[in-house]
Structure formats: C-alpha cells, structure tokens
Structure 1
Amino acid sequence: MVLSSYGEQDAEGKLVKPGYEFDEMSKSYLVFAASGAQVTFASPNGGKLVTDKYDASKPYNEKFLANQDAVAALESTRKLSDIRSADYDAVYVVGGKGPMFDLAKDQNVKRIIQEVYEDDGIVGAVCHGPAALLDVKLGDGSHLVDGKRISAFTNEEESVFTKAWTMPFQLEDKLVEQGAVFRQDGLMLNQVSIDGRVITGQNPFSTADTARAVVKALGLENDGSLEFRDDRTIMLVERFFADRVAAMQDFTAHMDRYDPMLLAMFGVYQARYANTQAELDVALTLMQATQETIKHPMLDVAIAKGFLAKNDSRQARVVLTASNQKFPENEEISGLLESLTD
C-alpha cells in the first residue's frame, strides 16, 4: 500500500500541506487483512507520515487504530526506493490530496507499478491515488493507462470538494491525455473500474469495493461480513436513482443500517449541483426523508431552494413557513420566506 509523504503540519499542528486520506487507508487495510493478504506500507520518504484530518471514532478507523501491529507498520512506512517489486503480487495507491503533489511524479512508485504490472501483478488505486499511474511507461513505450478504463476523482468532484488546496493539475484531464478511457458515476457515487489487472476507484466511497476487487484479482477470499455504514449509505443513494419507492421503504424499515446525516448532506450537494431533473428529484427525496431526524434549519433552506429550482414556489413556501415556526430566529429562513411572500 503506497501512501503520500507530502503532508506537513506547522508548529501548532495545522495542516499546511495535504497528505494521504486516513479513511481510505484504514478501509483498504481492513479489507486486505481480512482476506489474509500481507500488507506493507510504503511512501516516498518512509517513516511516519502526516495524514489529512480524519475522525478517529469512525468504526473502521477505531478498528484499525486498535491493531497495534498495523499502527506500528503505518508509523514506520518503508521507503519506496527500498521496495523490491518482485516481492509483491500487487501495488495499491491510497488517495488524499497529497498524491497529486508527490506520487504523481515519484519515479520509484512508477518503477514499482510498471514492474509489478509487467510481472503479471495487480495495480490498484483509489480517488487521487491514480495520480501515481500517470507517466508509468510499459516496456513497449506505451502509457500504462492508455486504452484502459480508469476511474479517479473527477473534475466535477474537484470543483465541488477541493476548496482548501490548489491542485497542480486536473487528474481526470491528465489521465485522458495519456489515453485513459475515463469512467465515472455521479457526484461522490461509488464507481470502480476493472480493466484486466488495473483496478481503480473514483472517490472515497469507492474505496472498499476497489480493495475488494484487488483481493478478488489476487485469488483471495473477501470477508463478506466486513461492511462499512457510510459505503452502504451511498449504495442506498444509488438505489434511490433506480427505484425511489423501494429505496425509501428500505431506509424507513432499516434506518439503523444507514447514516441519515450522510444522506442529508448528499441531498444538499446533489441539489446544489444537479444537472438533471432526476438528480434534483432524488436530492429532494433524500433531504425530505432525513428532515425529521436531522432537524436542522439549513436542511429546510436547502429543501426550499430545491423546490424553487423546480419552479415550485408553493411547496417552497410550505416548507419555509413550517421551518420559520420551528426556527423563528433564523434570518435566512425568514428572509427567503419574505421574498416569496412579496
């Protein structure tokens, strides 16, 4: 498993350079370990690395952090320059913003990827991890990604979610420039592309399935009991696009299996950046389904704005009127309601 060394903190512990994504690392590690795979952590500089901000209380992070051997290995990553690729059946690159700055141009990771692949091994990467696949040349001089179906963090996702950092390039564009057949699902939906022995995932919610695909390609058994609530929630979102009635019935009957806050936030972002009527309809359904659980004024505002985007000012007024009674001090709600009343 390859991790970025780019992350850096200042004297106060504030992140001043982005690193690797801890959630992607922990989910992937748990999937690999459960299959019986032996995992080595490696990075350009070796040693202990700086990760992007993460929630240690998430179940998969808690489980990883409780494994003293895994934590010790993470805190003493091997240098990529010391890695002998013949010792490994697969190389897997974890995402985070950091890979865009160091792994995108690190010659050692490119050597390892090329050697593992040409020795009939598996190459996997998720989110921004596919930046490490750029400029990997095979023995015949072609780019590794040329003509292959590849998924990675999309231009759209970059524009929506990458606010704190200025990326050195657009990953989607660079992959396409080198011949990749770029494959993507909607905003932050799960997409894994498998093209022979190259396996790539679009975003953080694609992590576990990308790792599972690597396990399967290695001929190992996946642990079917290993599931993650946030990934399950995103899969439910996809079901809302296919059959809203059935998805709603499932959510209502098994709310404990899903993350209502994640559903609500997905609805908010989906409504804000919807490109089609179907996307807007699903966004409204998700926000309304979680409204009673979340009980937050900003969710009411987002729902009202969703109805306004559908040119349904009557329903927007209904939502805002009820919300104004619950949150009479909220100026955005009262102001939006007043603008509809005028």
Structure 2
Amino acid sequence: MKRWLVYGLFGVLALVALVGFGVPRALTAAGLHAHYEVPPMDLSGRRALIITTSHATLDPSGAATGVFASEMTAPYYAFLDAGMEVDIASIRGGAIPIEPASLRWPLISPPDRRFLDDPQFLSRVERSLEIELVDIEDYDIVFLAGGWGAAYDFAQSDALGDQISRAYAAGAVVGGVCHGPLGLLPARAPDGTPLVEGRRVTAVTDKQVQELNIEITPRHPERDLRAAGALFEAETAFRDFFATHVVVDGRIVTGQNQNSGAEAAHRMMEVVLTDNHETAP
C-alpha cells in the first residue's frame, strides 16, 4: 500500500512539473513571447520614454486591467541594456495598473520576472511621471505600451497627442505595440495632418479583439487606425494572440501585440542610430 502511495505521489509531482513547465513552453512555441534576441547596441547618452495607460478596469464589468506587463518590460530592458536612460510615464502619473493575468503563470515572460526582482524599475512604475508634465523633447525614443487599459485613455488624451506631436517634430522615433498605437491617433505631423495618415502601421487586430472576446472597450486599434487613414498591416495565426509583426515607416515604429515588444524596441534603436534619422519622414 505504501508503495502505491509513493508511486502516486511521484505521479502527481510529475504531472505538476509537466503542466508547470510544459504549458509555458508550448505557448512560447506557438508564438507567445517567442524569444527575440536584440543584438548588442550602444546608445549611451540617449534617452527613451515608455508611456502606459492609467486606466485600471474593463468597464463596465469592473474587471482589473491596465498595461500588459511584457509590453512595458520587454522594451524597457531592450533600451536599458543598450545603455539608454529609460523613464516611465503614464497618462495621470503615479502607480501604473498592470493587467493581473500578464504577471501570472502561464503568461508571465522572462522580462516580467526580471522586473519583479528590479527595485528601481518597480519604483518607477509606482511613481510614474505624468505625461503632461514630461519634457518630451529630451527623448530620442517615445514608446507607447499597450494593454486593454490603453483603449480607454490613449486616443482620448489631448495631452498625450500634444506630447507625441512635439516629440515627432523634435526628431524622436515614436511608436508602440498592441493597443499602444492608439496613442498616435491624437498626434499631428508638423504640417498639421494626422500623424498616422498615409503611414504604414500595425497594432492589435480586430480578429484578436474578437477572439479574446473583449469588444467592450471604446477604441479598437485596427478599426480606428484604418479610420484615421493609416495603412494598416498585420500577420495572422490560428489565434492572433500568437502572431507578431513589426512595421518601420520612417520614424514611426509599431508592433502588432504583446509578442512584438522587444523587436519594436530594437527597430526603434536602429532608426535612432541611422545618421539621417532626423530627416526621415
């Protein structure tokens, strides 16, 4: 009898190990947070600003949401590891709400785990800068992190639109991933036209919104970017949650979803390092 108890215990432990390690690996193999190797880069003396939502609930349900963690952590460490000074801002400033599921098994990513052990980054997220008060011309890169919360306060923020417009006019590389590109909608090019009009961009797709059954948000990236005149493009998969795509159009760099953060950051840095990036469209 004791022997069967021992065998049973080992069986349970093996099942726990299989689920604990196997499920995240299977999701990664399918495309979720697939490893992207940012090559060594030296951007010492350059500065990046990551902007997130301040909206914490999926209205009207009241379910907790915010920024999807990896859309903030992956670009943060890509910039930091390249020698950049990185600041964190949000629409209202202060503590940034984070989508709870994005920091839990099986969705948590390696940059997220690094974040949870990084007191400096944790402090910056707890005390984020208010976007309206940021000296935006100080930054070479302005990155808009996504998550469902951004659907409630990015496109709706005149302050964000003004800051993105000023950053772009000053020569910065601007963009973001997933719902982040909604923050480009209120921005204007130096000639006064909508910044995204006639520009190639990507973001979370209508198909992904439908597949995740979160259509209650007031703004949808693909739909609204197309309506603003953007030339929207994306990849697809059996579920778009597992797809990824990055678009570089001059100094506007966008990524499709939570899988695109590291590559989008890499491509932004490449543009910064291009000698003539100040004159790119």
- TM-score, scaled relative to structure 1: 0.60
> How far 1:170 sits from its partner (Å)?
2.8
* Aligned with 1:7 (options 53, 56, 67): 56
Residue 48 of structure 1 is matched in structure 2 by 95
**Cα shift readout 1:98-142 (whole Å, capped 9, x = no counterpart):** 111001111111111111111111002100101101131223221
Please say which of residues 136-145 and 197-206 is displaced more in the overlay: 136-145
Residue 147 of structure 2 is matched in structure 1 by 96
Relative contact order (alpha carbons < 8 A, sep ≥ 6): 1 or 2 greater? 2
Residue 254 of structure 2 is matched in structure 1 by 200
Are 1:184 and 1:191, in contact at CA under 8 Å, matched by a contact in 2? yes
Are 1:25 and 1:94, in contact at CA under 8 Å, matched by a contact in 2? yes
For structure 2, the 5+ residue unaligned runs are 1-49, 275-281
1:216 correspondence with 2:270 = yes
- TM-score, scaled relative to structure 2: 0.72
Structure number with higher helix proportion: 1
> How far 1:90 sits from its partner (Å)?
1.6
Are 1:8 and 1:17, in contact at CA under 8 Å, matched by a contact in 2? yes
Amino acid at match of 1:36: G
Give the SS at the match of 2:87.
coil
> How far 1:169 sits from its partner (Å)?
3.2
Structure number with higher strand proportion: 2
Q: Say if 1:60 and 1:139 are closer, same or farther in 2 by CA, change over 3 A.
A: closer
Task: Find the aligned partners of 1:139 and 1:49 in 2 and give their Cα distance.
Answer: 31
Give the SS at the match of 2:176.
strand
Are 1:17 and 1:98, in contact at CA under 8 Å, matched by a contact in 2? no
1:148 correspondence with 2:194 = no
Task: Find the aligned partners of 1:63 and 1:17 in 2 and give their Cα distance.
Answer: 23
Give the SS at the match of 1:159.
helix
* Aligned with 1:80 (options 113, 128, 131): 131
Amino acid at match of 2:263: D
Please say which of residues 131-140 and 175-184 is displaced more in the overlay: 131-140
Task: Find the aligned partners of 1:58 and 1:88 in 2 and give their Cα distance.
Answer: 27
Residue 176 of structure 1 is matched in structure 2 by 226
Residue 63 of structure 2 is matched in structure 1 by 16
Percent of aligned positions that are identical: 28
Give the SS at the match of 1:2.
strand
> How far 1:28 sits from its partner (Å)?
1.2
Give the SS at the match of 1:205.
coil
Amino acid at match of 1:30: Y
The aligned runs of 1:133-282 (5 Å cut-off) are 133-163=184-214, 166-186=216-236, 187=240, 188-219=242-273
Give aligned pairs, total: 215
**Cα shift readout 1:46-103 (whole Å, capped 9, x = no counterpart):** 1112111123564221112212111111110010111111111121000001111001
* Aligned with 1:67 (options 110, 118, 130): 118
